[in-house]
Structure 1
Amino acid sequence: MEQKKGRLFLCPTPIGNLEDITLRVLKILKEVEVIAAEDTRVTRKLMNHYGIKKPLISYHEHNKTKKGEEIIKLLLEGRDVALVSDAGTPGISDPGEELVKAAIGENIKVVPLPGPSAFVTALIASGFSTRRFAFEGFLPKKDKEREKILNNLLNENRTVIFYESPHRIVKFLEELKEKMGNRRVVIARELTKIHEEFFRGTVEEALLKFNAEEPRGEFVIIIEGVSKEETDDISLENVKEKALEKVREYLKGGMTKSQAVKKVSKELNISKNELYSDIHKGIT
C-alpha cells in the first residue's frame, strides 16, 4: 500500500502587529507536525506569544536546497508541514516558491491560507490605481539586471510595486529617477507597527527625505503608472530617435539628406517636414 503523503500548508504571519494572524493559521500551526521557518528565532517569538509548541526546521535562501529536500522527505513520509516566512505570505519574494514547486512535482498537496502581505497592505492605502498593478519585489543585486528591469518599465501604465531594504533605498531611488524620471511614488515602512509611515510625493522629494534621515525598516515602494498621454509622448520620442538614427545611417551610406529623409519618412510613416525640423533642432 502506498504511503500517505503529508500536506504542505502555506501560512501567512503578521508583518508587524502580532494580532494580524488568522484563527485558521493558528489552528494549522498547532496541528502540523513540523513548522518550516525562514528564521526560527523570529517564528519562535510568534509561537511563544500564542503558546504554540512544535518542532521547527530552518528553511531560507542560503539552505533552501538541502533543507528543501529534507522537508519534501518529511512530506513524503506522511507528515504535515507548515511553511512560514518571517513576515507576510510565504512564497512572495522568498524561497517558498521553490518548495511549492518541489512539492507539486512530488504530487504533494499544497494548501494555501490567506493572510497578511506587505505589498497588498501598502497598495490599498497608496491612492494609486489598484485595478491593474505589477509586483516586482526586490530588484536583483547586479546593476545590469536592475537596469534592464527599470528600462522595461519605462512605459508601464500599471501601478508598479517594489520591495527594498533600508541600506539600499537611496540607491534604488537614484536609479528610479535616472531610468523612469521624477515619478509620483508612495513609500511605506513599518507597516502595521507603532511607527507606520507613508511617504507621498515625487522621487526627488523622497531622495531629499531619505538623504536627510537614516532609513529604517523594510520599504514598499509604489510607483504610479504613466498616463496614456505620457505613454504617447514617450512613444513619439522613441520614433523620432529611431528616425534620426536611420537618417544618419543612410547619410553614412552615401545618400543625400533629401533622399535619406524621404526614405525614412516612408519607412516609419513620419512627416518629412517634421523630420527635417527635428534634424535642424539637433535632436539626437
Structure 2
Amino acid sequence: MSDKGKIYLIPTVLAPDTQAEVLPQYTIHKLADITHFFVENVRTARRFISSLKLGVDISQLTFYLIDKHTATDEIKKNTQVLLQGKDVGIISEAGCPGIADPGAKVVSFGHQLGVDVVPLVGPSSIFLALMASGMNGQSFAFKGYLPIAKDQRSKAIKQLEKASASQQQTQIFMETPFRNNQLMKDLVQHCRKNTLLCVAANITAPEAFIATKTIGQWKGSLPDLHKQPTIFVLHSY
C-alpha cells in the first residue's frame, strides 16, 4: 500500500494553550508532514495548526470540511486524494476525531480504499471524564446528546438510570454548553437521590472542575456550567 496515502487521526486540545501538556511531540510534528486535512471547522483547524508553530505555510494547506451537513458523495470524492499518494489528517473541533465526531465517515471510506488508518495519541474528554469519575470502566456507554424536548429528555434520563442499574453500566453523555445548567437541573429533578453523577467541566484547563456526588448531594449545590464544555457521567445501583 506504499503507493497510497495514509489517514492520520489527529487529536486537538480540549482547552486553549494546553498543547504542551496534552499532545505528544510525535503527534505535533506529524502535522508538519501533512498538507491535506478533513476538518470539522476550517477556522478552528487553521488556528490550531498555527498555534503549534511548525513553520508551516497555512495558505498552502488544503482543507475539506466534514460536518453533519457534508454530503456523502463529497466526502467520497475528496478521499480520492489518498489514491494519489497524499496523506490526510482528520482534525476534530476538540479532542479525538472519530469519537462523537463526523471524521468517522472519512475513516470508513479510507478502509474501503484499502489505506492505512493511523490513530494518534491525544486527549478525549469522554474517556478523561470516565477515568476521573470513579465509576465502572469495564462496562460503559456514550449516549451523546440527550433530547431537548422536556418530556423526551425526562424519559431519556430515566432510561439511562434504569439501564445503568440493570446492567451495572456507566452512562456518559453531554450537552451544548449553553444548555448545561438546564440539563443539570433536569438530572437532579428526575434521578433518584442515591444515583451517582460526575460532572467534568473544562477538562485539562487550569480551571477544570471534576466532582462525583450523589444526586441528593448535588441538590444542595448545583455548579454553574453555563458555556463550559462538560461531560456528564452517571451510575445508578
TM interval, short-chain normalised:
0.7 to 0.9
Shift of 1:25: 1.4
1:50 maps onto 2:58 in alignment: no
1:199 maps onto 2:194 in alignment: no
Q: 27, 30, 33: which one pairs with 2:32?
A: 30
Question: Which residue does 1:114 correspond to in 2?
Answer: 121
Q: What residue ranges of structure 1 are gaps of 5+ in the alignment? A: 227-284
Question: Which residue does 1:84 correspond to in 2?
Answer: 91
Question: Identity over aligned residues, as a percent?
Answer: 25
**Are 2:147 and 2:156, in contact at CA under 8 Å, matched by a contact in 1?**
no
TM-score (norm. length: structure 1): 0.68
Question: Which residue does 1:181 correspond to in 2?
Answer: 192
Question: Which residue does 1:257 correspond to in 2?
Answer: none
SS at the partner of 1:125?
Answer: helix
TM-score (norm. length: structure 2): 0.80
Q: 173, 177, 185: which one pairs with 1:162?
A: 173
In 2: Cα distance, 1:24 partner to 1:118 partner: 20
AA matched with 2:97: P
AA matched with 2:25: L
Of the structure 1 ranges 78-87 and 136-145, higher mean CA displacement relative to structure 2 is found in 136-145
The number of residue pairs the alignment matches comes to 224
Shift of 1:152: 5.5
1:18 maps onto 2:19 in alignment: yes
Q: What residue ranges of structure 2 are gaps of 5+ in the alignment? A: none
Deviations 1:156-210 (A, max 9, x none): 2122211222222234334444554232211011111121112332335546645
Q: 100, 104, 107: which one pairs with 1:93?
A: 100
CA RMSD in angstroms, aligned pairs only: 2.8
CA separation of 1:123/1:152 partners in 2, compared to 1, >3 Å: closer, same or farther?
A: closer
In 2: Cα distance, 1:3 partner to 1:122 partner: 38
AA matched with 1:151: Q
Shift of 1:134: 2.1
* Greater RCO, CA 8 A, separation 6+: 2
SS at the partner of 1:154?
Answer: helix
Q: Which has the higher helix share?
A: 1
**Are 1:3 and 1:76, in contact at CA under 8 Å, matched by a contact in 2?**
no
Question: Which residue does 1:65 correspond to in 2?
Answer: 72
AA matched with 2:50: N
CA separation of 1:64/1:117 partners in 2, compared to 1, >3 Å: closer, same or farther?
A: farther
CA separation of 1:8/1:144 partners in 2, compared to 1, >3 Å: closer, same or farther?
A: farther
In 2: Cα distance, 1:31 partner to 1:145 partner: 47
SS at the partner of 1:123?
Answer: helix
Shift of 1:3: 10
In 2: Cα distance, 1:83 partner to 1:200 partner: 33
